[in-house]
Structure 1
Amino acid sequence: MESQELVDRLNAGDLDARIAQIYAVAGPALAAARARLTGLAVRFADEFPGLPAALFTAAGRTEMGGNHTDHQHGQVLAGSVSVDMIACGGPNGTDEIRVRSEGYPEVVVRLGDLEPNPAEHGSSESLVRGVARALTDRGFPLAGASLCVVSSVPGGSGLSSSASYEILIGVALNHLFCGGELSAVELAQIGQYAENVFFGKPSGLMDQMACSVGGVVHIDFADPAAPVFNRVEVDLAAAGHVLCIIDSGADHADLTDEYSAITAEMRAAAACFGAEYLSQVDPDAFWARLDEVRRKAGDRAALRAIHFFEDNARVPQQAAALAQGRFGDFLGLVTASGISSATHLQNLYAASHPAQQAVGITIALAQRLLDGRGAVRVHGGGFAGTVQAYVPVESADAFKAGMDAVLGEGACQVLSIRPIGGGVIAG
């Protein structure tokens, strides 16, 4: 549709049902979501006059179970959350994909140049190039497009802004040029490809799956080409808790080497058994040959393998506890996972910067404020990122105020699970 028609439909409330479905909102929250989308549509009409327009969304994500298990082809529990990236755009009649993200320089990627470029590692250009390359490799006839993007997923927040961006670009190009043929799982795999090969980050598939699929999902990555996933119905409000993600405020220096070391050491432990990934190793066999693992791979690798086996086993227990309404049991498993991450996985701080332990401080403060209730653990990759807490509803305001008082205003975000990850809002 024409961009002005899109603005008119938003203002008339014609898209309210779809907005409510995606964001699980009503009343003032629905009006706020509509206003945000309308503002983006107006901006697109101003910056790219005369082009057709559609609206797209991709959620941020939270890891609820399985810390650093996905890259070992293990199991995770993850959910899409109530912050997202939105895009408005359409075909532009050129051979260029142009993306204007609020607050960032314009990204321009020529469709005739879709080779990985090491000079682009870590950039938005690399992600757009990688997604476009994956689609052309699948035989889809891509053409140029112009997109305006707005994000409420903070960069470096542990809510996977890069995965959200990958899924957003994938959803848009899938709708505009692929007839919507690609599934949420395929878009997640394309996003991971872009991040691994073009962006230069050796991530697993969890982030992209959670941003793409939506809701809370229990995923088994035994075969990453065909991950098995099941939705888990979760109502945090009915369980009397809210989900908080807390920015530890640490210096987000390049931590790629720290993340890579976890992957490399876990694979070194697996190699002791002739396996590539720890999910292919029998835990009993590991314990029977622990001495050999220590000699060949080292003590830290052995401890990180122990974390994998224990946290991987916790994931189906967490999923079952949520599905059966045993929220207290779920919280106990969250706590156990956090302890394992601290003592075995060792991703609360970077070994290269031992004096900087903002994640550990954040966890300690959260534990004091929770006073034996709820649960708290390191969130996502770790080292200098975020902390996840489940907080009783009646304590949420005081908890947020206490965290913000030490870490800075806005450090603690109160989020909800949203039912749809990546999708087309209108078009």
Structure 2
Amino acid sequence: MTRWAAPGRVNLIGEHTDYNDGFVLPLALAQRTVVTVEPAERSVVRSSREDDPVTFAAATVAPGDVTGWAAYVAGVFWAFRAAGHAVPDLDLHVDGDVPVGAGLSSSASLECAVAVALAELGGLDLGRTELARLARRAENEFVGAPTGGMDQMAAMHGAAGRLVFLDTRTDAVELVPFPLAEHGLALLVVDTRAPHQLVDGQYGQRRADCAEAAEQLGVPALRDATLDAVERLTDERLRRRARHVVSEDARVLEVVDRLTAGADPRGIGPLLSASHASMRDDFAITVPHVDVAQDVMERAGAHGARMTGGGFGGCVIGLVEAADVDRVSGAVAAAYAERGWTAPVAFTAVASGGAGPA
């Protein structure tokens, strides 16, 4: 019996840029999905969060055979096999503390834990980027979620005290220093408890809008567009969607430049807030629970705050003084209580290592 684990992730900045060949800047969390594995005659997946086990045959499983949470496991088996790698049947038990449905990439965390297990058990000499690509293929083609590759790359390449700067066109990775503790800072994460679901029409519609905008602009992807060109688009919806992506790429690059130069991280706060405004006003992917949390965090003293994740729910992050974590999270909780909303859950995110043995 062996144990493998992979982290969830928080995206510091760079939302909906990954499928536009752009730039993202996530960090791997200390919270992890753990998969305990042993040989079996037929694959069985159990989870501490689910009542019933799910079975499938590693040698034949195909898209549509397994649905729901277990599809993220079966999909990795399928992706390995589709890439020409032998996959054994396994008995897998899934556990961990990555919040589900919060936009912290619990699905990619599960996929990547399974991927490193299959690679090690099979003696496969696969690099971390290749493993991330296989995990992404499982999510795109087996589960049917049209996501970019940021989540899996963050889970594979994460490092303690570092952000994962990813160029999604080339999959080039650079680890960027994120010395919050040295500056008396913390990255506060507030799970708004608003439902978060990516396998729906909203995410796909945003992706389609971006593709259409790029086509009208005559560029391979919005990463190649300029703001001046975007402002000349005649369709207001496409103009707003493209403006978010192009301006968000610029914000990511500025954050990387500042942190790489050793600047005080407090200086990136306004860029986080500008990112949120762009997601709210141009990309239209925030919801009231998210906007209230972001606004309250700023009013309570956060240097900057933004929604993180695909949108329509999930988490808000705030760059705060370490001494103010309880006060800022308490302010959000009070605002939710005033509105009769479910209480949010808050924690601090610590940049941690990537997938590997547990």
Scaled by the length of structure 2, the TM-score of the pair is 0.91
State the shift of 1:91 in Å. Answer: 2.0
State the shift of 1:365 in Å. Answer: 2.0
Alignment partner of 1:238: what SS? helix
C-alpha distance 403-255 of structure 1, shift in aligned 2 (>3 A): farther
Alignment of 1:12-411 (within 5 A): 53-92=1-40, 94=41, 96-104=42-50, 105-117=52-64, 120-121=66-67, 123-177=68-122, 179-215=123-159, 216-223=163-170, 227-252=171-196, 256-287=200-231, 290=232, 293-294=233-234, 298-326=235-263, 327-349=265-287, 357-370=288-301, 373-407=302-336, 411=345
Partner of 1:414: 348
Amino acid at match of 1:417: A
Greater shift after overlay, 324-333 or 306-315?
324-333
CA contact (8 A) 2:297 2:329 kept: no
Q: Distance in 2 between matches of 1:358 and 1:269?
A: 29
CA contact (8 A) 2:145 2:198 kept: no
What's the Cα RMSD here?
1.9
Alignment partner of 2:217: what SS? coil
Partner of 1:8: none
State the shift of 1:63 in Å. Answer: 0.5
CA contact (8 A) 2:7 2:30 kept: yes
Deviations 1:288-335 (A, max 9, x none): xx1xx32xxx31111110111111011121112122232122222212
State the shift of 1:124 in Å. Answer: 2.5
Amino acid at match of 1:359: V
Q: Distance in 2 between matches of 1:396 and 1:66?
A: 24
Q: Distance in 2 between matches of 1:128 and 1:394?
A: 40
State the shift of 1:276 in Å. Answer: 4.5
State the shift of 1:401 in Å. Answer: 2.6
Q: Distance in 1 between matches of 2:224 and 2:179?
A: 34
Deviations 1:138-191 (A, max 9, x none): 2222111112221201111111001101101111111111x1412111111111
CA contact (8 A) 2:103 2:196 kept: no
Deviations 1:372-417 (A, max 9, x none): x421111111122221111111111222233334445561122211
C-alpha distance 126-253 of structure 1, shift in aligned 2 (>3 A): closer
C-alpha distance 220-252 of structure 1, shift in aligned 2 (>3 A): closer
CA contact (8 A) 1:97 1:145 kept: yes
CA contact (8 A) 1:109 1:125 kept: no
C-alpha distance 136-252 of structure 1, shift in aligned 2 (>3 A): closer
CA contact (8 A) 1:90 1:176 kept: no
Deviations 1:104-158 (A, max 9, x none): 12122212322211x745x223222221122112222211111222120111111
What percentage of aligned pairs have identical amino acids? 29
Q: Is there any run of 5+ residues in structure 1 with no aligned partner, and where? A: 1-52, 350-356
Partner of 1:424: 357
Q: Distance in 1 between matches of 2:175 and 2:284?
A: 30
**Structure with bigger gyration radius:** 1
Alignment partner of 2:246: what SS? helix
Q: Distance in 2 between matches of 1:329 and 1:185?
A: 31
State the shift of 1:254 in Å. Answer: 6.8
Q: Distance in 1 between matches of 2:48 and 2:177?
A: 34
State the shift of 1:284 in Å. Answer: 4.0
CA contact (8 A) 2:10 2:27 kept: yes
Amino acid at match of 1:422: A
CA contact (8 A) 2:230 2:239 kept: no
Paired residues in the alignment total: 348
Q: Distance in 1 between matches of 2:227 and 2:172?
A: 22
Amino acid at match of 1:55: R
Q: Distance in 2 between matches of 1:260 and 1:152?
A: 28
CA contact (8 A) 2:102 2:193 kept: no
CA contact (8 A) 1:404 1:412 kept: no
Q: Distance in 2 between matches of 1:409 and 1:342?
A: 22
State the shift of 1:255 in Å. Answer: 6.3
Q: Distance in 1 between matches of 2:94 and 2:348?
A: 23
Q: Is there any run of 5+ residues in structure 2 with no aligned partner, and where? A: 337-341
CA contact (8 A) 2:132 2:149 kept: yes
Amino acid at match of 1:136: R
State the shift of 1:273 in Å. Answer: 2.9
C-alpha distance 282-140 of structure 1, shift in aligned 2 (>3 A): same
Q: Distance in 2 between matches of 1:184 and 1:154?
A: 24
Amino acid at match of 1:79: L
